[in-house]
Amino acid sequence: MFNNRSLNHMRCGVLALALCASAWTNAEALAADWTVGANIGNVPWEFAEKDGSYTGFEIELVQELGKRLNQTIDIQNLPFEGVIPALLSDRIQIGIASMTITDERLKSLAFAQPYFDADQSVTTLATSSVSDLDGIKGTRVAVESAATSDIWATKNEAKYAFESINRYDSMSSAVLDLQAGRVDTYIADMPAIAYYIKDKPQFHIVARIPTGEQYSLIFNKNFADIAAINDAISQMKKDGFLGSLHKKWFGTDPATDSSTVVVEPLPVAK
């Protein structure tokens, strides 16, 4: 039987172990050269394996950058809408979230050269009567909060007279509501949703929304390694590393005139 004194000693011991574990985790994060904010759950760009490890196109990209530039990396899971605030407050140095390069974002932040071209898309249940872009008029639309799908839907809300715009913190939660009938259509990045539903025949992409988007890494403007990272991405395009990532995650070689292949300068606001 334990007396109160023994229990107090045990509690103190457990607390000390927890504090040590927390301190060790924080020390590891502080020891890393780059702290990377990643929108884990953003398939196929960054997501968790069954064992808890992170994988995806952009995870492999940033890991390869670390190897080539001899930098250690600590990856932190952040919701999409948390990436930019974390950069602005210097809690992270790099953001990966299939982040579209926009003039608005370039006002306060910096991007590396683009490495993926994309458009938006409209996804419905396969049983839906919506069959094209005009069919989304009057529907309950799902988007990912603060993403370019959200920006597009908000800009076009009056044109399509949406019944509602429903904002989610992840693709999985939006798709669950689509499946449950709580929303009618889901607007999302074409490559991400195509990968996500490839083995889910109950969903169907009914329209592509041409937006001419390009993805890249995003940084705080004061980050010292932007030029080195951009140069490394140029080399990855030349030696085929990015092309091989495209083949691995999307099943096809990238178009020869795409930003996955063509070396481009650092983006600047227009």
Say whether 239 sits in a helix, a strand or coil: helix
DSSP state of 49: -
> Strands 185-189, 203-220: parallel, antiparallel or unpaired by DSSP?
unpaired
Is the pTM of the predicted complex or chain greater than 0.95?
no
Amino acid 88 reads L
Quickly tell me which residue has 């006002």 as its tokens.
107
Number of residues written out for the chain: 270
Q: How does pLDDT run across 193-230, given as a tens digit for each residue? A: 988 898 899 999 999 999 999 999 999 999 999 999 99
Cα separation, 244 vs 231, in Å, equals 18
Looking at the structure, tell me whether residues 89 and 155 fall in a common domain: no
Looking at the structure, tell me whether residues 149 and 174 fall in a common domain: yes
pLDDT of residue 31: 80
Query: Rounded to whole angstroms, what are the CA distances from 247 to 37, 254, 260?
Result: 25, 7, 11
Domain membership of residue 148 as a residue range: 118-212
For residue 35, what are the β-bridge partners? Answer: 74
Residues of the chain with pLDDT under 50: 1-2, 4-29
Say whether 98 sits in a helix, a strand or coil: strand
What CATH number does the domain containing 72 carry? 3.40.190.10
In the chain, what's the furthest Cα-to-Cα distance?
Answer: 74
Residue 269 contacts residue 108 (beta carbons within 8 Å): no
> Strands 185-189, 140-144: parallel, antiparallel or unpaired by DSSP?
parallel
What are the structure tokens assigned to 81, written together? 């809408």
In a domain, 256, yes or no: no
Looking at the structure, tell me whether residues 112 and 222 fall in a common domain: yes
Cβ burial of 28 (10 Å; 0-12, 13-18, 19+) is exposed
User: Which of 76, 124, 91, 85 shows the shortest CA–CA distance to 108?
Assistant: 85
Q: Alpha-carbon dihedral of residues 246, 42, 195, 123, nearest 10 degrees?
A: -130
Characterise 115 by phi-psi region: left (phi > 0), alpha (psi -120 to 50), beta (else).
Answer: alpha
In a domain, 6, yes or no: no
pLDDT of residue 30: 59
pLDDT of residue 54: 98
Looking at the structure, tell me whether residues 84 and 140 fall in a common domain: no
Looking at the structure, tell me whether residues 149 and 200 fall in a common domain: yes
Looking at the structure, tell me whether residues 156 and 171 fall in a common domain: yes
pLDDT of residue 251: 83
Looking at the structure, tell me whether residues 86 and 122 fall in a common domain: no
Looking at the structure, tell me whether residues 79 and 199 fall in a common domain: no
Cα separation, 169 vs 144, in Å, equals 6
Looking at the structure, tell me whether residues 79 and 147 fall in a common domain: no
